[in-house]
Amino acid sequence: MEKIKVLIADDHCMFLRGIESILSDDETLQVVGMAQNGSEAYELSKKYNPDVILMDVNMPVMDGVQALKMITKEMPQMKVLMLTNDEKEDQLFEALKFGAKGYLLKNLLPNELLTFIHMVHRGESILYGHLIGKMIGYLSNQNKEELQKIQVSKTTNILTRREREILMQVIKGMTNREISVSLFISENTVKNHLRNIMEKLQMNNRIQAATFAMREGWLQEI
């Protein structure tokens, strides 16, 4: 089996080495490069073409969100997981807005990190722990204008019952696999439903879609 190529970007050398050590315990992963700022992360991404990038949010020269914007614009096939010690909702929103596939706190356990890398590689999006609640709260209360810019019918629920059920699971922080088990459907079916939901609502990520549906009262009808 071909290994998942991982690039790590963080300005703390000890943290870089620690992550490298954790990833080396998984025979399906290969660390192809390590960067200490966003500019290096961008350049190494072009050089090594990693499958997954672990990107610190706060770095010198160029921060993680700036590097994320450049990488996802030029190399959209790469999946970026943001890492942070902070829980700033604005940074979280910016990262998801510009294509991050996950947003993790650095206090997560080594086995959790390995699991999340594999999940992101197979196409899932990750918000660690209570961050999903913070994201929904931020979108609902502090950033309403972002949702109001999206032209969706306010009077008609355009989602099917199954799509609403899936969004309820998203709000609970469940992964695609967990949703499939909960609703007794395949993981591919969950992915297809989520893709249809985001197309209907003209949104880029599942959190924004769930927040919009919740604000419109569509999820109360389940």
Whether 89 and 178 share a structural domain:
no
> Which residues does 204 contact at the CB level (< 8 Å), separation at least 6?
97, 99, 198
Instruction: Work out the burial of residue 211: count CB atoms within 10 Å of its CB; fewer than 13 is exposed, 13-18 middle, 19 or more buried.
Output: buried
Q: Answer yes or no: is 135 within a domain.
A: no
User: What is residue 25's DSSP assignment?
Assistant: T
Residue 184, sorted as left (phi over 0), alpha (psi -120 to 50) or beta, turns out to be left
Does 18 score more than 60 pLDDT? yes
Whether 111 and 12 share a structural domain:
yes
- Of residues 41 and 220, the one with the higher pLDDT is 41
Report how many domains make up the chain: 2
Taking a C-beta distance cutoff of 8 angstroms, is the pair 103, 82 a contact? yes
Whether 111 and 26 share a structural domain:
yes
Does 32 score more than 80 pLDDT? yes
Q: Answer yes or no: is 24 within a domain.
A: yes
Residues of the domain holding 33: 4-128
Final residue in a domain of this structure, among 128, 160, 194:
128
Whether 87 and 62 share a structural domain:
yes
Final residue in a domain of this structure, among 128, 158, 184:
128
Q: Answer yes or no: is 133 within a domain.
A: no
Q: Can you give the pTM of this predicted structure?
A: 0.67
Taking a C-beta distance cutoff of 8 angstroms, is the pair 92, 134 a contact? yes
Whether 40 and 94 share a structural domain:
yes
- Of residues 114 and 97, the one with the higher pLDDT is 114
The string of DSSP codes covering 89-152 is: HHHHHHHHHTT-SEEEETTS-HHHHHHHHHHHHTT--EE-TTHHHHHHHIIIII-HHHHHTS--
pLDDT category of residue 219 using cuts at 50, 70 and 90? confident
- Of residues 89 and 94, the one with the higher pLDDT is 94
Whether 60 and 165 share a structural domain:
no
Taking a C-beta distance cutoff of 8 angstroms, is the pair 98, 65 a contact? yes
- Give the amino acid at 70: M
Whether 156 and 83 share a structural domain:
no
The CATH number of residue 155's host domain is 1.10.10.10
Each residue of 139-163: pLDDT tens digit? 555 445 554 544 444 445 788 989 9
- CA–CA dist 142, 122 (Å, integer): 32
Q: Per-residue pLDDT averaged across 75-90, rounded?
A: 84
